């Protein structure tokens, strides 16, 4: 890697970091303003809208900005996978359930789903770093699909277990806590960032991105 290329990559990394920081503070400000707390009996539309906006902006940049697309496809897939080891913190949902702060259905699905994704990410990343023969696309794709579906299921159940939600009566405990600061930062920021990393991995696999020892099998 030449010095010029290294400087360009460093600039791109810094730009992405600043973008994430601005995004984080924007969501934090809106959270403190209670912008994500829905009216009684209504779904958290503002949270859902924020997710649609963030993913739409990502796809727009990917489709219409060649340099951004090139940057995304060159990201180290091993690093993207390793980021998901942080999802082990999702076991905190189980702790909140034990204190009657979250309904069991949501807490167990979200908690154990995140934990399973995190544990699998450790083994997958280790294999990508150590196996000279690489790792097959199907295993990366399976892990990626599981991790993304975990988010879809958790968010869906979170909405359905809100006060007056379809599944609220099952336990009598609501998931409204997830729309209140600081917990709203999980669906409002972290879930969306991690979801975008899942999308990037799909894009890399689709574009036959093999420089992290992912082989086509």
Tell me whether residue 30 is exposed, middle or buried, using C-beta atoms within 10 angstroms of its C-beta: 0 to 12, 13 to 18, 19 or more. Answer: middle
The residue assigned the tokens 């290294």 is 6
Report, as an integer, the average pLDDT of 73-94: 96
What does the pLDDT look like over 101-127, one tens digit per residue? 999 999 999 999 999 999 999 999 999
Tell me whether residue 187 is exposed, middle or buried, using C-beta atoms within 10 angstroms of its C-beta: 0 to 12, 13 to 18, 19 or more. Answer: buried
Token pair listed for 198: 């899942």
| CA–CA separation, 102 and 96 (whole Å) | 6
Domain count, the chain: 1
Confidence class for position 131, pLDDT limits 50, 70, 90: confident
Length reported for the chain: 217
Is 64 strand, coil or helix?
A: helix
Phi, psi at residue 5, to the nearest 5°?
-65, -40
- Structural domain range at position 74: 3-215
Q: What is the pLDDT of residue 186?
A: 97
On the question of pLDDT at 214 being above 70, the answer is no
| CA–CA separation, 90 and 109 (whole Å) | 10
CB 83 within 8 A of CB 72: no
Q: What is the pLDDT of residue 193?
A: 98
Which DSSP string do the residues of 28-94 spell out, in sequence order?
HHHHHTTTT-PPTTS--HHHHHHHHHHHHHHHHHHHH-HHHHHHHHHS-HHHHHHHGGGGGGGGHHH
Helix (H) or strand (E) holding 198: helix 191-206
| CA–CA separation, 177 and 179 (whole Å) | 5
Q: What is the pLDDT of residue 170?
A: 67
Q: What is the pLDDT of residue 217?
A: 44
Question: Higher confidence at residue 10 or residue 57?
Answer: 57
| CA–CA separation, 177 and 36 (whole Å) | 11
Cα angle at 19 between 18 and 23, to 5 degrees? 115
Tell me whether residue 168 is exposed, middle or buried, using C-beta atoms within 10 angstroms of its C-beta: 0 to 12, 13 to 18, 19 or more. Answer: middle
Phi, psi at residue 166, to the nearest 5°?
-60, -35
HEC letters along 170-182: HCCCCCHHHHCCC
What does the pLDDT look like over 71-83, one tens digit per residue? 999 999 999 999 9
What does the pLDDT look like over 144-168, one tens digit per residue? 999 999 999 999 999 999 988 888 8
On the question of pLDDT at 9 being above 80, the answer is no
On the question of pLDDT at 5 being above 50, the answer is yes
What does the pLDDT look like over 180-207, one tens digit per residue? 999 999 999 999 999 999 999 999 999 8
What does the pLDDT look like over 20-78, one tens digit per residue? 999 999 999 999 999 999 988 788 999 999 999 999 999 999 999 999 999 999 999 99
């Amino acid at each position: 890697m030449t010095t010029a290329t290294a400087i360009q990559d460093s600039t791109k990394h810094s730009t992405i970091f600043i973008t994430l920081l601005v995004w984080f503070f924007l969501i934090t400000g809106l959270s403190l303003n209670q912008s994500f707390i829905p009216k009684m009996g209504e779904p958290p539309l503002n949270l859902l809208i924020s997710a649609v906006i963030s993913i739409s902006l990502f796809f727009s940049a990917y489709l219409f900005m060649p340099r951004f697309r090139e940057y995304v496809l060159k990201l180290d897939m091993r690093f993207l996978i390793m980021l998901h080891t942080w999802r082990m913190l999702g076991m905190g949902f189980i702790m909140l359930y034990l204190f009657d702060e979250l309904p069991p259905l949501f807490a167990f699905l979200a908690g154990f789903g995140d934990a399973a994704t995190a544990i699998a990410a450790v083994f997958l990343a280790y294999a990508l770093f150590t196996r000279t023969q690489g790792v097959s696309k199907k295993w990366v794709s399976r892990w990626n699909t599981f991790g993304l579906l975990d988010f879809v299921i958790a968010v869906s159940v979170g909405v359905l277990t809100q006060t007056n939600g379809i599944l609220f009566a099952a336990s009598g405990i609501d998931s409204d806590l997830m729309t209140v600061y600081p917990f709203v930062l999980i669906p409002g920021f972290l879930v969306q960032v991690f979801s975008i990393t899942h999308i990037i991995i799909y894009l890399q696999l689709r574009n036959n991105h093999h420089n992290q020892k992912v082989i086509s099998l």
